[in-house]
Structure 1
Amino acid sequence: MSSSTLKLIGILSMMIDHSAVTLFRLGFLNAWFGADSFKAYEVMRMMGRWAFPIFLFLLVEGFYHTRSVPRFASRLVIFAVISEVFFDYALFGALSPLSNVYFELALAVGMFAAFKWLGAAVPHKVVRGLLMAAVAVAIGLGAEFIHADYGINGIVAAAIFYVLRCHRKAQAVAVIPAFYFEGMPFTFLVAPLLYAYNGKRGLPLKYVFYAFYPVHLALLSLLEFIY
């Protein structure tokens, strides 16, 4: 399974997840499903639990293959800023203190860069491990401070994916404890998808992947004003 296939699965999962929030908040699910509207909402949210683990997995792969970490991080920050108002209105119907997921991904890339530097600068494994843990906690607290979408949970999950990057089977199995906060059982089903990753790029979807996030949120946020 190529990275583009995983991206498409993640995009579809994310769209279902965000659509569930917007449509339930605006009453569309109630109009369509009546008394079963909350059940429909829960099913859609569970289907959306695949998105974040897939995106973090691909973030680690992207970090290892990027030619420029600063450019990689800056793209995430730029799209985070572009997406924020759309994120707020699509999911909450107003400006919100919660920051969209691109901010969290940018923080994770900063953490990966620190991990890489520590790997080269600190030869002692125990000391290096303790310093990496301290970095992860510090950046996780930063994620909590800016009210990033997944907070410290997302940063810890990103750290686990980074550390296990060279051990694909362990990395896939780690989905279960690392993303338990995302909800079961659908997150559990991500494990075989990640294990099936073949290391190939597939279709050139880099900017489609970046742009889809603000575009689909913009379309969802329009519902707030149309209806």
Structure 2
Amino acid sequence: MVIDHVGYVFLRETDWAMLCYGLGRLSFPLFAWLLVQGEAHTQNFRRYALRLLGMAILSQPIYQLTFGIALFEDFNILFTLLLGLLCLRAARQWPRWAVLIWLVGAIAAELANFNYDAYGIALIALIGNYKPTLLWWTVWCIFTALTAVVMSGNLQFLAGFAALIFACANHERGPKARWFYWFYPAHIGLIGLAAFGLNRPAG
């Protein structure tokens, strides 16, 4: 993610931009994977969701200033992750309605201009239902192939390779990292300050 954002702000007009963007495609599915693990193992879902909401709200003005985004034009990925978190918990509690829950979540992400839109919610749904089976990997590969076709030209299909990383995880509860989501607004803020210092235009 840092590489992606650094490339977007500082290297857009260089040959390194696409490399940074390609590497950055791995970040959202890994964030989604951590979200899924957090939802599965948290002892206080309400506190977890509120913390994520707080980080999303805090990050939004920093996100807009750094990337030159107008009000309500685009909401940062923490809002997408929050919506995905709510869908994860709802689908777990009402499995009979899981497909409808995820569909409503995807539509909401599109209408609300959340970063990654319906694609992000679909990705969280797939990762949330991860199983080391041939069926899951087949669906994942089809999803990645469709992404390559529908989003041709933006390298988003490279996110498919992230599955090779979280497939190696032990799926057990890891150490608490309450500071983790602070990383998102912090790194964007630092990039914004550096861009301002170097007189780089936003957006």
Q: Given the two structures, how large is their TM-score scaled by the length of structure 2?
A: 0.82
Counterpart of 1:217?
Answer: 188
2:11 to 24, 28, 37: 24
Shift of 1:221: 1.2
Query: Where does 1:35-74 land on structure 2 (aligned, <5 Å)?
Result: 37=14, 39-74=15-50
Compared CA separation, residues 94 and 111, structure 1 to 2 (3 A) = closer
- What is the correspondence of 1:17-166 to structure 2 with a 5 Å cutoff? 17-24=4-11, 30=13, 37=14, 39-92=15-68, 95=71, 97-119=73-95, 128=96, 131-164=97-130
Which runs of at least 4 in structure 1 moved beyond 6 Å after TM superposition?
none
The structure richer in helix per residue is 1
Q: Which amino acid aligns with 1:207?
A: R
Count residues in correspondence. Answer: 190
Among residues 163, 176, 192, which one is paired with 1:191 in the alignment? 163
Superposition CA RMSD, Å: 2.3
Shift of the 192–99 alpha-carbon distance from structure 1 to 2, 3 Å rule, reads same
Give the counterpart letter for 2:121 in structure 1: I
Counterparts of 2:184 and 2:66 in 1: how far apart (Å)?
12
Aligned 8 A contact 1:50 1:187 in 2: yes
Query: Taking every aligned residue pair, what percent have the same amino acid on both sides?
Result: 26
Deviation sequence 1:9-36 (CA, Å, 0-9, x none):
xxxxx100111111135xxxx4xxxxxx
Task: Measure the CA separation in 2 of the matches of 1:76 and 1:172.
Answer: 29
Gaps in structure 2 of 5+ consecutive residues:
none
Change (3 A) 1:219 1:151: same
Q: 1:177 to 1:59 in 2, by over 3 A?
A: farther
Distance 1:190-1:59 versus aligned 2 partners, 3 A rule: same
Deviations 1:163-201 (Å, cap 9, x if unpaired)?
23xx13555665544453573664343222111112345
State the Cα distance separating 1:205 from its structure 2 match: 6.2
TM-score scaled by structure 1?
A: 0.74
What residue number does 2:132 align with?
168
Partner letter of residue 24 of structure 1?
A: L
